[in-house]
A and B are shown apart, each in its own frame.
Chain A
């Protein structure tokens, strides 16, 4: 199916066919059912209208016929009843009959009586019977008892007719004709009878209704009376039927169709309960589609026929709906057939046209298929100069281009493939090269590791972000710097990065500056000895130029630091010595030159004194010369002495300080006595250990000075003692003499420093003392509040328990 539909021809055929079909069916439907929303109701509507009209006409006609027929019968009854002959005859018959009845006379007597007098009346009745062969019999009865006074049937004369049963609802005094349908129970068989009273016109001709003498009962022959009522022309169709029912729906005329059970319905017995009959009997009139007694849908025109003032019959003319629709169906079938033929024709035509249109397209399609299958040399045949022809031309040129592209493409593909092969080979080479490079790198890495491990100094690489140790050589690992630990935990025992307050963090410094940094830390070795460690840190940058890792290596510079300290100390000492030497030279030259100038100067004056004979001045001047010479000699001696200290050393020995002090005081006894100086010495002075001669010199100098610089102190006092403090023994010589201004506390220990021009001495004494103390590894200083406040010379010297130092 799909294959067919893909063909242009088939699709066109189908499309046109469907189009035609739709048009034809639409036309046909419009013709049949009319245009919607317009008054055009189509042939079906027309036919329906016609049918309704026909049915109405038929119904009206039949109704008229029934009414007319009934009127005729009534007229007959009226004629008889109002005939004067009849009235007189009845009157005549009535009187003796009533009397006989009242006298309870036997019926045969009454009948005989009636027979005797009924002769003329029966003749009249017979005449009526003979003029209308539709009557079965005619009776005249007494209204009081229902006694039959006269009858066309002789046997009935003298019998009684129960009037209330024959014509229920008919008043005895009624002056109008009444049509009555009586079933078989009344008169032996179903009957239609017309009843009319016989008025006694002679009795009261002027005042209202005349009294009733009796009743005329005209019985219609049952076999005959339906005939005039059952007109069956079949004008509208084979199924057309006219039904007539009384007020109780009993059929009056026989039915055209058998009942559903196959039996024939009997008039005046079967009740027709079809809707048209019921409606008509109830007094309604119209045309409608209803179900009839068979249950068949019919179109019915129904009419009500009023036969008596209070009773009416129903009449319906029906025709089966199927009967009506059949012509319509025929027309529809015909229209369908025509439509089908039209569709076929349209399809065939469409196919032919489509074939003609499609031929160049198909050629194009074939060419395209061939191109598709790879034949780029295929071309569409150009068969026309219309749009399709243009299309073919375009197609051909397009294929030409495609072929060109295709050729280009193939060339490009060949070129690319070639390039790809080259690249592949290059890649293979690169891979091999890389493998070699990796091998080389690995070797280098191993080499580097060996080199790092060979380093005696700890070396490690630390991550700049998390302070984690990434690489550590074996020296570093010995110091617990294992890979994965953090630098701060290992070197400073911290749980978080260092604040940098106690130690400058080399990692932080490098990270901030991006430059190598060298910092010095104090680390503690396993024996908790402080070690000075110099940390060299170098940055390793990542590709963003950010410091990612930091190389650190640690140099234990404790020894170097120690040496440096020692060197600095030595340098300091040397500088001090140099300065001292310079000062020494300077002062020596100055102090040695001074006496020379004195000597030479006064020698000059000596000559003048001699010339002038000034003996006094000559003596004084020569004394000055002597004095200067002596001073010079003493200077030279002391200088020699000073130069010996530290060079010429007596072997160290125990020197009891107490004994030395006493000996010195003995030697100074004269001066002490002269100045009246009080000396205080404690019992337990320590035993010093060192050069006994030199130590004695120290004591001598200090005590001599103490006594010498008493100033004008009235109660001079010198105290020698020992005080302990800050872990060392300090020997002191305290006086209450002239004191030393704090600004000269250091100066007084210098060479040739004298505080007063009037003081004796060369200015070498304290220099010698300091030199000796220093040579023994001790210190000396002075404590004094100032001039006049006395002074305390303190010194530390090795005691016996200190061992053999110095």
Chain B
């Protein structure tokens, strides 16, 4: 994995289940997908991290992520609410958000896409598939996927919310 523009690649993992978080982080680590993976255990912490509030107020220790892996079922503030907050923020909305959840519920999927999720994947129960998914996800979003650069771009025209 390369460092884009000399910047360390950062992934924010929002996952309430510590076992799952461990699995995901271990998998990402093995495939060297990112330089760093930050984990927040609930929605509130995730938003605090992203908006650099509370204990995440230091920009140096809490860099803006290049990819967000978001579990939907979260305590305090659930994943869809976190997603809505990200996508309605001009600074954050361009960060790709991948919903990574156990839920195959139609309602959750529609909810996520309605809130402009960039991708929706269900955690595979099978271990090898789980590993493969993590590898592909990281590679696709951080290597293949291109995104506009920094702050030089024009402001996108705001689309009215649906």
Chain A interface residues toward B at CB < 8 A: 586-587, 589-590, 593-598, 600-605, 624, 627-628, 744, 753-759
Decide: A602 and B23 in contact? CB cutoff 8 A: yes
Decide: B131 and A755 in contact? CB cutoff 8 A: no
Q: Report 12 cross-chain contacts, Cβ distance below 8 Å, ordered by A residue.
A: A589-B104, A590-B73, A593-B102, A594-B19, A598-B20, A600-B130, A601-B127, A602-B19, A604-B131, A628-B19, A753-B75, A759-B75
Decide: A594 and B26 in contact? CB cutoff 8 A: no
Q: Complex Cα distance A624/B22, Å? A: 10
Decide: A605 and B26 in contact? CB cutoff 8 A: yes
Q: Complex Cα distance A483/B130, Å? A: 85
Q: Complex Cα distance A602/B18, Å? A: 12
Decide: A757 and B18 in contact? CB cutoff 8 A: yes
A787 to chain B, nearest CB (A): 10
Decide: B20 and A756 in contact? CB cutoff 8 A: no
Decide: B125 and A596 in contact? CB cutoff 8 A: yes
Considering only CB atoms, which chain A residue lies closest to B22 in the complex? A624
Decide: A754 and B125 in contact? CB cutoff 8 A: no
Q: Is B115 an interface residue (CB 8 A)?
A: no
Q: Complex Cα distance A523/B18, Å? A: 64
Considering only CB atoms, which chain B residue lies closest to A617 in the complex? B26
Decide: A601 and B23 in contact? CB cutoff 8 A: yes
- Among B42, B75, B107, B125, the residue within 8 A (CB) of A600 is B125
Q: Is B135 an interface residue (CB 8 A)?
A: no
Q: Is B126 an interface residue (CB 8 A)?
A: yes
Chain A positions within 8 Å of B145 at CB level: none
Q: Complex Cα distance A600/B129, Å? A: 11
Q: Is B103 an interface residue (CB 8 A)?
A: yes
Chain A positions within 8 Å of B105 at CB level: 586, 589
The 0/1 profile, CB within 8 Å of A marked 1, for residues 1-38 of chain B is 00000000000000011111011001000000000000
Chain B positions within 8 Å of A589 at CB level: 102-105
- Among A597, A602, A757, the residue within 8 A (CB) of B123 is A597
Decide: A756 and B130 in contact? CB cutoff 8 A: no
Decide: A597 and B23 in contact? CB cutoff 8 A: yes
Q: Complex Cα distance A600/B75, Å? A: 24
Interface core residue of A590, A628, A755, A759 (most chain B CB under 10 Å): A590
Q: Is B152 an interface residue (CB 8 A)?
A: no
Given A598-B17, A601-B23, A602-B19, A593 and B125 touching (CB < 8 A)? yes
- Among B16, B26, B130, B131, the residue within 8 A (CB) of A597 is B130
Decide: A600 and B102 in contact? CB cutoff 8 A: no
Decide: A604 and B128 in contact? CB cutoff 8 A: yes
Known: A586-B103, A598-B20. 13 other contacts (CB 8 A): A593-B102, A593-B123, A594-B20, A597-B20, A597-B130, A598-B17, A600-B125, A604-B128, A627-B19, A754-B75, A757-B18, A757-B41, A757-B75
Given A586-B105, A589-B103, A600 and B76 touching (CB < 8 A)? no
Chain A positions within 8 Å of B128 at CB level: 604
Decide: A597 and B75 in contact? CB cutoff 8 A: no
A607 to chain B, nearest CB (A): 9
Decide: A594 and B18 in contact? CB cutoff 8 A: no
Q: Complex Cα distance A753/B16, Å? A: 12
A95 to chain B, nearest CB (A): 196
Decide: A598 and B23 in contact? CB cutoff 8 A: yes
Given A589-B104, A590-B103, A601-B127, A756 and B76 touching (CB < 8 A)? yes
Decide: B19 and A603 in contact? CB cutoff 8 A: no
Q: Complex Cα distance A597/B101, Å? A: 11
Considering only CB atoms, which chain A residue lies closest to B19 in the complex? A598
Chain B positions within 8 Å of A757 at CB level: 16-18, 41-42, 75
Chain B positions within 8 Å of A602 at CB level: 19, 23
A15 to chain B, nearest CB (A): 120
Interface core residue of B18, B102, B127 (most chain A CB under 10 Å): B127
Decide: A603 and B127 in contact? CB cutoff 8 A: yes
Considering only CB atoms, which chain B residue lies closest to A624 in the complex? B19
B4 to chain A, nearest CB (A): 29
Decide: A758 and B41 in contact? CB cutoff 8 A: yes
B148 to chain A, nearest CB (A): 34
Considering only CB atoms, which chain A residue lies closest to B103 in the complex? A590
Chain A positions within 8 Å of B42 at CB level: 756-757
- Among B102, B126, B130, B131, the residue within 8 A (CB) of A590 is B102
The 0/1 profile, CB within 8 Å of A marked 1, for residues 103-145 of chain B is 1110110000000000000011111101100000000000000
Q: Complex Cα distance A759/B41, Å? A: 12
Considering only CB atoms, which chain A residue lies closest to B122 in the complex? A593
Q: Complex Cα distance A505/B124, Å? A: 66
Chain B positions within 8 Å of A597 at CB level: 19-20, 23, 102, 123-125, 130
Chain B positions within 8 Å of A594 at CB level: 17, 19-20, 102
Chain A positions within 8 Å of B101 at CB level: 590
Decide: B127 and A600 in contact? CB cutoff 8 A: yes
A746 to chain B, nearest CB (A): 14
Chain A positions within 8 Å of B102 at CB level: 589-590, 593-594, 597
A88 to chain B, nearest CB (A): 194
Q: Complex Cα distance A627/B19, Å? A: 10
Chain A positions within 8 Å of B107 at CB level: 586
Considering only CB atoms, which chain B residue lies closest to A744 in the complex? B76
Chain A positions within 8 Å of B104 at CB level: 589
B74 to chain A, nearest CB (A): 8
Q: Complex Cα distance A597/B19, Å? A: 9
A302 to chain B, nearest CB (A): 152
Considering only CB atoms, which chain A residue lies closest to B104 in the complex? A589
Q: Complex Cα distance A191/B30, Å? A: 217
A755 to chain B, nearest CB (A): 6
Interface core residue of A604, A755, A758 (most chain B CB under 10 Å): A604
A139 to chain B, nearest CB (A): 184
Decide: B103 and A600 in contact? CB cutoff 8 A: no
Chain A positions within 8 Å of B126 at CB level: 600
Chain B positions within 8 Å of A744 at CB level: 76
Q: Complex Cα distance A605/B26, Å? A: 10
Q: Complex Cα distance A744/B44, Å? A: 13
Chain B positions within 8 Å of A759 at CB level: 75
Chain A positions within 8 Å of B123 at CB level: 593, 597
A670 to chain B, nearest CB (A): 26
Given A754-B75, A755-B75, A601 and B41 touching (CB < 8 A)? no
Q: Complex Cα distance A596/B130, Å? A: 12
